[in-house]
């Protein structure tokens, strides 16, 4: 199933913004505003997006990133020697650079100082790490490809006179995660302890109960229970229409073919 971000769902709203901005190919810009695809307005989602890191969590993530850098170098060496064929996730790990780990270190420092609220500009990261903007951009792509961070584009409203867009791109927001792809390359002492069997069984029972509950919902109720925002409202209306059609088919079912033939013969 295709997943849509909140920024993509907001694109139709941006199409109402006037402006004559054009793309590099010369065609009219789809929103008329200098806003990149998938962007969300700054200040409208950060409370749900940012998470406060636990004590010692940023230091642990940095150690894991450095271990992953060593593992990536080993994978790249084995591939050059022809002793290993890398998978897609392994190629992403092998592409990790020391510059990317340095950028990650700066992002984690900001998370520790600002209670998880991390939205620096490329210029800030370039100045703090003594790296070029292009190097910072590549580093963020590498970190995101492995799964060390999630990045959300943002735009902001601006004051302008006359006809034209009232939006402009601003810095991205970042949230951190421990990618499953790197766990196998960590030493045993850095890996999390497996959960107890009773916890695993309780989670399985919860998922089974939830699946049973969702299976009894109508299409409209299912959309409301699993989705939110503009996309959820659209699918809820579509589900309500499907439910109405199903009720009509139950109330006035079409006669079977053999019953029609009997009426004709009689």
Per-residue pLDDT reduced to its tens digit, 92-148: 999 999 999 999 999 999 999 999 999 999 999 999 999 999 999 999 999 999 999
Angle at the Cα of 172 (from 168 to 178), degrees rounded to 5? 165
Q: Is the pLDDT of residue 21 over 70?
A: no
Distance, in Å, from the CA atom of 25 to the CA atom of 96, rounded to the nearest integer, reads: 33
Distance, in Å, from the CA atom of 106 to the CA atom of 112, rounded to the nearest integer, reads: 10
Distance, in Å, from the CA atom of 80 to the CA atom of 94, rounded to the nearest integer, reads: 11
Q: Is the pLDDT of residue 251 over 50?
A: yes
Average pLDDT over residues 13-18: 41
Give residue 22's pLDDT: 52
Look up tokens 């989705």; give the residue.
Answer: 227
Average pLDDT over residues 192-208: 79
The H-assigned helical ranges of 87-154 are: 88-94, 98-113, 122-129, 133-146
Of 65, 78, 90, 97, which Cα lies nearest the Cα of 181?
Answer: 90
Question: Which of the listed CATH numbers 3.30.70.141, 1.20.120.530, 3.90.950.20, 1.10.10.10 matches domain 6-190?
Answer: 1.10.10.10
- What does the block give as tokens for 168? 């402009």
Pairing of strands 149-157, 167-176: antiparallel
Mean of pLDDT over the chain: 81
Q: Which residue has the higher pLDDT, 118 or 254?
A: 118
Write phi, then psi, for 57 (nearest 5 degrees). -70, -40
- Where do the CATH 1.10.10.10 domains begin and end in the chain? 6-190
Q: Which residue has the higher pLDDT, 79 or 4?
A: 79
């Amino acid at each position: 199933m295709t997943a849509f971000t909140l920024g993509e769902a907001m694109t139709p709203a941006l199409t109402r913004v006037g402006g004559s901005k054009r793309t590099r190919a010369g065609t009219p810009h789809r929103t008329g505003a200098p806003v990149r695809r998938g962007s969300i307005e700054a200040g409208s989602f950060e409370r749900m997006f940012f998470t406060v890191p636990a004590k010692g969590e940023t230091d642990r993530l940095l150690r894991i990133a450095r271990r992953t850098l060593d593992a990536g170098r080993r994978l790249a060496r084995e591939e050059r020697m022809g002793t290993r064929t890398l998978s897609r996730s392994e190629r992403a790990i092998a592409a990790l650079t020391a510059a990317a780990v340095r950028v990650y270190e700066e992002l984690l420092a900001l998370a520790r100082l600002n209670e998880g609220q991390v939205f620096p500009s490329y210029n800030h990261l370039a100045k703090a790490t003594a790296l070029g903007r292009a190097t910072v951009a590549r580093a963020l792509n590498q970190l995101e490809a492995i799964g060390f961070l999630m990045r959300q584009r943002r735009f902001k409203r601006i004051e302008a006179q006359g006809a034209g867009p009232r939006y402009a791109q601003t810095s991205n927001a970042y949230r951190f995660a421990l990618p499953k792809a790197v766990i196998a390359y960590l030493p045993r002492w850095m890996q999390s302890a497996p959960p107890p069997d009773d916890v695993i069984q309780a989670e399985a029972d919860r998922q089974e109960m939830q699946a049973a509950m969702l299976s009894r919902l109508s299409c409209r109720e299912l959309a409301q229970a699993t989705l939110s925002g503009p996309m959820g409202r659209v699918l809820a209306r579509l589900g309500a229409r499907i439910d109405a059609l199903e009720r009509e088919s139950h109330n006035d079912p079409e006669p079977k073919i053999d019953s029609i033939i009997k009426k004709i013969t009689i």
